[in-house]
Structure 1
Amino acid sequence: MATTTPWAPKVIRPEDIGTDASGAGLKEHLHSLDLEAMLVEHKALVWRGFGIARAEFDAVVDALLPTRWAYRHGNSPRTKVGDNIYTSTEYPAEHTISMHNELSYAKRYPSRLVFYCEQAAATGGATPVVDGAAWLAALDDEVREAYRGGVRYRQNLHGGHGFGKSWQETFETDDRAEVEQFLAGTGAEWEWRDDDRLRIEQPGPSTVVDPRTGTEVWFNQSDQWHAASLGDETAKALAAIMAEEDMPQSVAFADGSPIPAEYVIQVRDRGLATAVDVDWAQGDLMVIDNVLTGHGRRPFTGQRRVLVAMAG
């Protein structure tokens, strides 16, 4: 009986492509690469052993993403450190970040992400990546069917003081008109509330079919937006002071009905179980197709600094 080789990102080293172990060598290689074809075939590409310095990274990322997106409408805490270059999500080191496709809750999401390791953790800190088709296949039929109609994301963004992110941070502006212009083309419903708060509801799919391959992949962030992902004690504490729909972020099925906690826990756990860990050394680089693959973060010790850029 034939066996199927488990999926894993394609790893490329200087000796594999006959080039110098340097940022200049990698940049020369990237200019000759059909990146789109490589990503469709492999879904994720990792360049190891090039020892790219932070001063070289901008030139390298220019070769990969000549036009980069700002992290607008993003819900995770990050620091902008360059020309639309950001730190990876700044959650406490002891926590796992579950698998997700970047900005899958937004109408406009990037097709590619670039990750660069400026400083590797002392231990742990891998970036797990998951084949979205394998993630979908790992779910129970009951869960896949329940999600078939899609989901509805809710955000409550304060105006500068409050729990969670402000709308100014989220949209990188303090101009209400600019926020409204951005949201107008997204299919979202929004409402300005008292105390300069902004409420947004955004419909989204549970899966998408990649037009290049015809592959259906899991594509939503319901497990990260659901109160169950906070853990029992945190969820209970928040429920005691506010309704779920008033939390900084929450999610329901597209028709507004609640998503059972056991469904989102299954989605979270099976995504992580199906993922392949990409361990980091200083100077490593990874590019992923943000539709065909999801990504996350394993816990770590010490200092870890991974930078991210994205583009359509």
Structure 2
Amino acid sequence: MNEHNFLYEVRCQSELSSPAALESWVRENKERFVSKLEETGAILFTGLSVKNAKDFDHFVSMFDFKVFTYKQSLSNAVRINKTDKVFTANEAPKEVEIYLHHELAQTPAYPKYIFFLCASASKVGGETPICRSDHLYSKIMAQDPALIKKFEDFGVIYNSIMPNGNELHSGQGRSWQTTLGARTKAAAEKKIKGLGYSCEWVDKDYLAVTTRVFQATKMLTGGDKSFFNQVLAASLGWKNKSSLGLPPVTFGNGDRLREDSINSMFDAARSLTLLRKWSDGDILVIDNHRVMHGRKPFSGNKPREVLVSLTA
């Protein structure tokens, strides 16, 4: 295992084709799988008879992790629930790239593990890139220790715009109504205030939101640190908070990130990224505290369907 090839692969045998056999096997090996996730950050299961949302829901349930639902999250992505705990990865158009990020690191509550099922792989592209964030932290520290120090001293603030109604053309198109569970502007403002955020209403009844300060790094089991944030995804993929001219992310003291710093972090992350083509039926599990993920654009006449389940 090295920084470019950290994925632990489990090739499953045909005797696991029955639900009962699969459940028994998962429960017998759960501790080993969790240990491997702590060690490598990512496990790929191939050859399982898990083909659809119902099968996938059952598979995730075998691990007995606490469910982290999309409905209750502050995710800014539009997703479609297939079961109570299984939903589509992102409804953004196929040409939109979703850059590397830690799931929900821009919010107060985020999952520990992310399960992905490739129900249908696209013909071209559509990979889910993954990057060891602890390796990225070390690389940025070696290249620019002052930058890491500033992230750790001040943290980060995120600026985003929540649309009035879901927007499927955006990777961050979830409406303020569904994100905040609010039917009225007053209810939305109350929820924002309770989170310690600030907001203002802009054109078309869109809601411009500024978060409180969040940490930009995270201490991991074993003493390493990860670059735990949404800095790359926000800087490269989110819309500007146009009403105030604010960038999607700033340091916690209000300073802007320099463009050359963003570019150097992106180059460092790209050099550490593992890009593996999906096959139908693949299941990827990542430790969200340790591993970033994204989505590459895709094309072709075969639809891409990747389902997700989040657990605490």
TM-score by length of 2: 0.82
Q: Give the C-alpha shift of residue 186 in structure 1.
A: 4.1
Hey, what does 1:85 align to over in structure 2? 86
Amino acid of the structure 1 residue aligned with 2:9? V
Change (3 A) 1:178 1:291: farther
Q: Is the 8 A contact 1:23 1:53 kept in 2?
A: no
Hey, what does 1:136 align to over in structure 2? 137
CA distance in 2, matches of 1:136, 1:119: 33
CA distance in 1, matches of 2:3, 2:255: 39
Q: Give the C-alpha shift of residue 213 in structure 1.
A: 1.9
- Please give the secondary structure, in 1, of the residue aligned with 2:48: coil
Q: Give the C-alpha shift of residue 146 in structure 1.
A: 3.6
CA distance in 2, matches of 1:193, 1:5: 44
Amino acid of the structure 1 residue aligned with 2:310? M
CA distance in 1, matches of 2:124, 2:206: 40
Q: Is the 8 A contact 1:99 1:272 kept in 2?
A: no
Hey, what does 2:216 align to over in structure 1? 206
Runs of 4+ in 1 over 6 A off after TM superposition: 192-195
- Please give the secondary structure, in 2, of the residue aligned with 1:265: helix
Q: Which runs of 5+ in 1 are unaligned?
A: none
CA distance in 2, matches of 1:184, 1:242: 19
Q: Give the C-alpha shift of residue 217 in structure 1.
A: 0.6
Change (3 A) 1:47 1:22: farther
CA distance in 2, matches of 1:137, 1:222: 16
Q: Give the C-alpha shift of residue 252 in structure 1.
A: 0.9
Q: Give the C-alpha shift of residue 283 in structure 1.
A: 1.4
- 1:298 paired with 2:299, answer no
Q: Is the 8 A contact 1:190 1:198 kept in 2?
A: yes
Hey, what does 1:219 align to over in structure 2? 228
Deviates more, 1:270-279 or 1:255-264: 270-279
Aligned pairs (5 A) from 1:109-124: 109-124=110-125
Hey, what does 1:13 align to over in structure 2? 11
Amino acid of the structure 1 residue aligned with 2:151? Y
- 1:255 paired with 2:247, answer no
Change (3 A) 1:53 1:277: same
Change (3 A) 1:161 1:108: closer
- Please give the secondary structure, in 2, of the residue aligned with 1:136: helix
CA distance in 2, matches of 1:105, 1:230: 14
CA distance in 2, matches of 1:6, 1:165: 33
Q: Give the C-alpha shift of residue 95 in structure 1.
A: 3.8
Deviates more, 1:100-109 or 1:298-307: 298-307
Aligned pairs (5 A) from 1:187-206: 187-190=196-199, 197-202=206-211, 203-206=213-216
Aligned counterpart in structure 1 of residue 162 of structure 2, from 143, 157, 160: 157
CA distance in 2, matches of 1:184, 1:63: 38
Amino acid of the structure 2 residue aligned with 1:153? Y
Aligned pairs (5 A) from 1:211-290: 212-226=221-235, 229-230=236-237, 242-245=243-246, 250-290=248-288
CA distance in 1, matches of 2:151, 2:87: 32
Deviates more, 1:172-181 or 1:262-271: 172-181
Q: Is the 8 A contact 2:98 2:237 kept in 1?
A: no
CA distance in 2, matches of 1:214, 1:184: 34
Q: Is the 8 A contact 1:209 1:216 kept in 2?
A: yes
Q: Give the C-alpha shift of residue 105 in structure 1.
A: 0.6
Hey, what does 1:101 align to over in structure 2? 102
Change (3 A) 1:5 1:22: farther
Q: Give the C-alpha shift of residue 289 in structure 1.
A: 0.7
Change (3 A) 1:5 1:151: closer
Change (3 A) 1:4 1:41: closer
Q: Is the 8 A contact 1:132 1:293 kept in 2?
A: yes
Hey, what does 2:309 align to over in structure 1? 309
CA distance in 1, matches of 2:85, 2:186: 22
Aligned counterpart in structure 1 of residue 177 of structure 2, from 152, 168, 171: 168
Amino acid of the structure 2 residue aligned with 1:113? I
Deviates more, 1:187-196 or 1:148-157: 187-196
Change (3 A) 1:22 1:182: farther
Amino acid of the structure 2 residue aligned with 1:205? Q
CA offsets per residue over residues 230-282 of structure 1, 9 Å max, x none? 59xxx8xx79x75433xxx7111101111112222222332232111232211
Q: Which runs of 5+ in 2 are unaligned?
A: none
**Quick one: percent identity of the two aligned structures?**
26
